[in-house]
Every structure is written in C-alpha cells, then in structure tokens.
Amino acid sequence: MRLSRRGVLAASFALAACGRGEAPAGKAARPLTIEEAVAGEWRSPADRARDAWRHPAESLAFWGLEPGQTVVEFWPGAGWYTDIVAPFLAATKGKLIAANLETADPAAAEIVEAYRTKLLGNRRLYGEVEITAFGPTSGPVAPAGSADLVLFLRNLHNWMAAGIAEKAFRDAFAALKPGGLLGVEEHRAAPGGVQDALAADGYVQQAYVVKLAEEAGFVLDAQSEINANPADTRDHPFGVWTLPPVRRTSPRGEPEDPTFDRAKYDAIGESDRMTLRFRKPG
C-alpha cells in the first residue's frame, strides 16, 4: 500500500500521544510483578483511571509478558504502557525496545523527545530503554530474532491510514525469536462487510487483523474478551474518537463544539477492543 497524505500520518502522531502522563522523578521501588507495576505510584491518576477499560495486568499476562524478556513496543506515544512494562522489565533484568515514530515530521520529533526526556528523568525506574523507529522508511525495529514479545497497542488503525500496516507485521515478525509472541489490542469493528483500507472511523475488523498477521507469517495463538465493551455501538459521529479518552466534539481539525452533548458517549466508555495473541512459528 502507498503512504497516504502527510496530514493523515501527522494526525496519527498526535493520536499516538493520547493519554499523556508524567512520571515523577523521585524514588520508586522497582516492581517485581506485573500487578506491582500496574499499581506503581509513578503512574498518573489519569492513566490509572483507564485501567478499568484497558485491563493492563490481565492483558499483559495474556500476551505473555514474563520476567527477563526482550520486549518491543511499537509507537508507545506518551508511554501509557511503557510506565508499566519498562519498570517491570528493568526490575527483572529484561529489556524494552520502543519502536517510536520516525522524526522527519516536527510533530513526531516533539513526541519522541518528550518520551525520551521522561525516560531519562528516572532511569532507576525505567532502566535503559532503547529507542528505535517504525515508519514508512524505517529499518529493523530490533535485531533480527532478538525479541520475545512485540506489542501493537491501539495503533493498527493509524498504520492502516498511513499505508504501513503490512510493514508493521513484517517488522514485528523479523524482530521476534522463533516461538516469540505478538500481542495486539485494537478497536474492533462489527464483523462482516468490507474493511475500509484506511480505517477512517478508527475501527478494524478482527478477521482483517488475523489476515494481515497470517500474511506476515504469524499463527493466531489465542484471543480474549478482556477488553470487550458490548455497549460500544460503533456508530459515533466522529468515529472511535468520539468516545473517551479522546472525546472529540467536532470533525478532526475543527474547533471543539461546546454545544455537543457528550453524555451518551461518555456513558458508553472506551471502545470495544479485540485482544489477540499471535505466535511466530518455530
């Protein structure tokens, strides 16, 4: 697929930063379990409030996170999951590789620099996170066959809009060891019909994700309803971004509409999401 307009990719940069929170640079005990990492006092109140929708402890356990692993997180944004995964790996002699945005666009460079500054501000907590890049022209996200686990966390719709979804799966496959795992969390479209190649409303059919993964060489290992939300009707005026945490009240690029009634969409909560685990054969 070809890269779509620069504006679409720039919008993806902004969405990757959704849920931005800052971790204090003070002392913090390194967590030895996933649950301790989720409960970490360095996580912002706003990030903690989303645990009820994202179920991080259960999701990470399902995806196969274990002590001492090498993990690649694609497009970590402001670090919502990094605040959990990096401290856990640092405490258990593991390694996190953050395949962040390519920085040719100033908006992307700003996001990457904010992420880097956050990690450097508390090395004792986060350890030595390696920052690489993923984008239209990026090279390997990690040395070939070095990763135990790769994470795609609510970004596939952005990559579809940018024409790089297939590349994401190929790059993940190359980075993983034989038998390594790929964890996917993504806004789930209703089954059936034809998938919009650009995922304009932010929703992706689960069957389409499985197809992309299998074309790259992966095997579907397991699926879970951990992050399902049956109340999500998916027919929102501004796509999935009408719902929390974005809570859009007008089309992208236009000023917020103070008259927009948010009650219905806030009551739905965050989107219905697929939670999938794929395995690299061997």
The answer to whether residue 77 sits within a structural domain is yes
Residue 193 is predicted with a pLDDT of 82
Sign of CA dihedral 46, 238, 270, 54: negative
And the tokens for 16? Answer: 């990757």
pLDDT band, residue 204 (cuts 50/70/90): very high
Residue 165 is predicted with a pLDDT of 98
Residue 29 is predicted with a pLDDT of 62
Residue 13 is predicted with a pLDDT of 47
- CB-CB contact of 76 with 107 (8 Å): no
The answer to whether residue 87 sits within a structural domain is yes
Does position 18 have pLDDT exceeding 70, yes or no? no
Residue 25 is predicted with a pLDDT of 43
The answer to whether residue 206 sits within a structural domain is yes
pLDDT band, residue 164 (cuts 50/70/90): very high
Say how many C-beta atoms besides its own lie within 10 A of residue 7's C-beta.
10
Residue 152 is predicted with a pLDDT of 98
The answer to whether residue 34 sits within a structural domain is yes
Domains in the chain, number: 1
pLDDT band, residue 178 (cuts 50/70/90): very high
- CB-CB contact of 71 with 89 (8 Å): yes
And the tokens for 277? Answer: 């685990």
DSSP symbol at 278? E
Measured CA to CA, the distance from residue 42 to residue 183 in angstroms comes to: 24
Q: What are the CA-CA distances from residue 186 to residues 27, 147, 205, 211, 277 (Å)?
A: 34, 21, 9, 14, 12
Residue 16 is predicted with a pLDDT of 46
pLDDT band, residue 19 (cuts 50/70/90): very low
Residue 99 is predicted with a pLDDT of 98
Q: Which residue has the higher pLDDT, 25 or 262?
A: 262
And the tokens for 65? Answer: 């996170």
Does position 20 have pLDDT exceeding 60, yes or no? no
Tens digits of residue pLDDT in 122-153: 999 999 999 999 999 999 999 999 999 999 99
Q: What is the 3-state secondary structure (H, E, C) of 119-172?
A: HHCCHHHHCCCEEEEECCCCCCCCCCCCEEEEEEECCHHHHHHHCCHHHHHHHH
Tens digits of residue pLDDT in 66-113: 999 999 999 999 999 999 999 999 999 999 999 999 999 999 999 999
The answer to whether residue 106 sits within a structural domain is yes
Residue 32 is predicted with a pLDDT of 86
Average confidence (pLDDT) over 241-266: 97
The answer to whether residue 25 sits within a structural domain is no
Give the CATH number of the domain where residue 41 resides: 3.40.50.150
**Which structural domain, as residue segments, surrounds residue 189?**
6-19+30-230+265-279
Average confidence (pLDDT) over 147-174: 98
The answer to whether residue 150 sits within a structural domain is yes
Average confidence (pLDDT) over 257-272: 98
pLDDT band, residue 218 (cuts 50/70/90): very high
Measured CA to CA, the distance from residue 108 to residue 14 in angstroms comes to: 8
The answer to whether residue 238 sits within a structural domain is no
- Percent helix, strand, coil in the chain (nearest 5)? 35, 20, 45
pLDDT band, residue 257 (cuts 50/70/90): very high
